[in-house]
């Protein structure tokens, strides 16, 4: 239960975005508005990927105490991940 609270606390916005964009993707998939569907699909992949990564890291490593150098590296990795999802997702 503590894991679930931690996930919702850190990734509440991403979970809401993933659910909302999945709904938009499914509702526009039969209509000819490909741009809205593609954007919603990419935001869903981005949000769901962040949550899945966090859950996997939490289960394997546990809670990580970040210092300033780790936060800088983590932000660069998240930026690269976001770029890859929007480029190839």
- Tokens 């975005």, residue located: 17
Distance between CA 68 and CA 50 in Å, rounded? 21
Residue-level pLDDT, tens digit, the chain, 89 residues: 888 888 888 888 888 988 888 888 777 766 666 767 788 888 888 888 888 888 888 888 777 777 878 778 887 888 888 888 888 86
Q: What is the pLDDT of residue 89?
A: 66
Three-class secondary structure of residue 32 per DSSP: coil
Q: What is the pLDDT of residue 48?
A: 87
Rg (CA), the chain: 15
Give the side-chain half-sphere CA count within 13 A for 56. 6
Distance between CA 58 and CA 60 in Å, rounded? 6
Domain boundaries along the sequence of the chain? 2-88
């Amino acid at each position: 239960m503590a894991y679930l609270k931690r996930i919702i606390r850190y990734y509440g916005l991403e979970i809401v975005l993933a659910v909302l964009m999945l709904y938009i993707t499914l509702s526009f998939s039969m209509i000819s508005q490909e741009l809205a569907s593609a954007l919603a699909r990419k935001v869903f992949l981005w949000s769901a990927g962040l949550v899945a990564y966090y859950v996997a890291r939490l289960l394997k490593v546990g809670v990580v105490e970040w210092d300033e150098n780790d936060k800088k590296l983590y932000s660069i990795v998240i930026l690269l991940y976001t770029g890859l999802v929007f480029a190839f997702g």
